[in-house]
Each structure stands twice: as structure tokens, then as C-alpha cells.
Amino acid sequence: MRFGRSAAPEGVQSGRRNAHGWRSRVLALSAAALALPIAAGVAAPTVALAAPISAPVHRTPAGGYDELMVPSSMGPIKVQVQWARSGGNAALLLLDGLRARDDKNAWTVDVNAPAQWANDNVTLVMPVGGQSSWYADWTQPSNLNGQKFTYKWETFLTKELPDFLANYGVARDNYAVAGLSMSGPAALRLAAFHRNQFKYAASFSGPLNWNAPGMREAIRVMMLDAGHYNVDAMAAPWSPQWLRSDPMVFAPQLRGLPMFISSANGIPGPYDHPNSAVGVFNTGNAMGIEAISFISSKSFQSRLNSLNIPATYDFPAAGTHSWQYWIDELGKARPGILAALNAG
């Protein structure tokens, strides 16, 4: 994978890109679910300069759009940016799913998050790439797919990227972060361990109980299916680094942070209309994965309740693991995000 390079033609993919890519792992995921404890126009990319910009300045008028190439230890990372409508300093970091592409962040392809936030005084920050990364700092390159570098996504998202965007007037300490599926637990982890940066975190359909029986192997199957990545290169089994990634473990560090946690239950809803054998198969996968997310998210709710840590929850009566539901959930989280960032 080369970051910041187009690797696929532009175009809208299926609304279940993250769902139907999990075909080969549904059985493994379902086994993990049973074991979960319920009680517990696009502009050309802007090339980054070697020297920092001397004063905060937007490259486009307030409310405009840019694609930036941001330096990192992994090489240049492409970041899609929609600047705050009135030039404010608040930012919302929108993270992608397990099959993150190399050319566009799915929040701009599978749904139109920029349009949803076009009138808000918040800069949308949408990194490109990171397939199967869980937006974590890995211990080594993945040895199953010939990866030439080590993922260092947490470092990028909490140091290199905010330092870079500070040169454009985005405050380092006024971020919200939202993620779906793979990036749901990542959003919570980033906020938990970088409280000086993040004022709000949202997880949509995220697997939030990593140490449930069978979950590590389920995650292994997911990552092998999505790019042949090796989970052991991310974190050794049951190591401190693995435990650090489990929301159930780091939950106490979320105290005082406004949060939005949501998942549907896998019952087909208003956006599920399969009209072919493939569509029926994909919908079935999306149903199973969302059911797992639901059980995991409910377990996480129980964990936060046991710690007397409040959060906002939304568990719709129907819905599968697909993008149209996630853009709806982002809209529901929007008032809380604007309030936390003082951008209303």
C-alpha cells in the first residue's frame, strides 16, 4: 500500500463496502458474538512544504475543500479536508473502515459527510488509507503481505497531522473523532489516551470488546481477508499493547469525555433492498456483522454503566452494517459534537 496515491478509480462503491468484504469471516465473527459477555469538484492534492507555514492561513476560503499530502513516518499521507464554514479552529476527524482505500476516504465516497457538515464551523479531516490498521501504532510491518513500513497511525493522527494542520488555523486541542466498524474502537482509544486533543468521540457499529472469547481470532480473520494483514504484527497476543486497544480495558480513561455509542441489531432496515443473489448474500453478511457489533456495544454500555461514566447511546430497532446507517448516526451525533467543540 502506498499512502496518498490513487490506487483505484473514483466512483461510488456499494453502501456495504466494509460489510461485504467480510464474507470469509462471518462464521468466525458469529462464534465470537456468541461468546461475548452481555453483562460486562475535487481540487488537486496540495503538496506539503518541508518548512512549516509561518502563520495560520487557509489555502482556500473558509468552507472550501483541499486534499493535502501530510508528511509522516509512514511516508506522505493524503488527507481530505473541508475547512470550517466560518474559519473556526475546531475539527472533526472522520476515520474509515477496515477496507480503507488509497484514493479517497469512504466518508466522501460511500456517503457525503462533507455535505452534511457544509454549513458548520468545523473542519472535517478525513485521512486516506490505513486498511486493516485499526489506526494503531504497530510493533512491526505485516509479514504476510510484504508491507515495507510499520503502521504508525496513532502517532500520525495525534501528533504529525494536528501539528501540520495547526499551520492552517486548526487548534491542536479542539478535535472530535468519529469512526465506524474498525475505526469505532480506534476513535474511543485515540480520545482516551489523548484527552488534550479530543473533546468528543463517537463509535458507530464498532467491536468494543476485544478480549471476549474468540474475538482476537475473529479480528485475525478480518485482517487476513482485508489485505492479508497479520494481527500479530499489530500487537502480540494478550500483550500490554493489545490490552491498550480494548475499549473494555481503557474505559476508565473515558471519564468526563462526551461520547456517542451506537449500533443497530442486524435486522434489515429501510436501506436494505437486495435485488439479486449477490445482494441477498451481502445483506446476510451485513446482518451478522451488525448483530456482533450490537452485542459488543451493549457490553461496552454495561461496562461504562458499572463505572458510572455517562454516554449518549443509540440502538435503532433495525439496520445492518452499512454506510447509509452510519451517515444517519453521524447526523445524530452532530449536535453533541458541535456543543463539545463550541462550534454551534
DSSP-derived pairing of the beta strands 65-70 and 46-47: parallel
DSSP structural state of residue 23: G
Nearest to 284 by CA among 22, 28, 33, 80: 22
Burial status of residue 287 (CB atoms within 10 A of its CB: 0-12, 13-18, 19 or more)? buried
What b-and-e string marks burial along 63-77, b requiring 16 or more CB atoms within 10 Å of the CB? bebbbbbbbbebebb
Identified catalytic residue from 290, 296, 297, 322: 290
Nearest to 253 by CA among 298, 300, 309, 199: 309
Amino acid at position 155, single letter: T
Identified catalytic residue from 72, 132, 142, 181: 181
- Cα-trace Rg, the chain: 19
Identified catalytic residue from 20, 154, 293, 321: 321
How far, CA to CA in Å, does 70 sit from each of 156, 161, 168? 9, 7, 12
Residue 321 designated active-site: yes
Contact 245/208 with Cβ under 8 angstroms? Answer: no
Question: Whole-angstrom Cα distance, residue 214 to residue 107?
Answer: 30
Question: Whole-angstrom Cα distance, residue 343 to residue 176?
Answer: 11
Interior CA angle at 136 toward 22 and 98, to 5°?
15
Residue 181 designated active-site: yes
Report the catalytic residues. 181, 290, 321
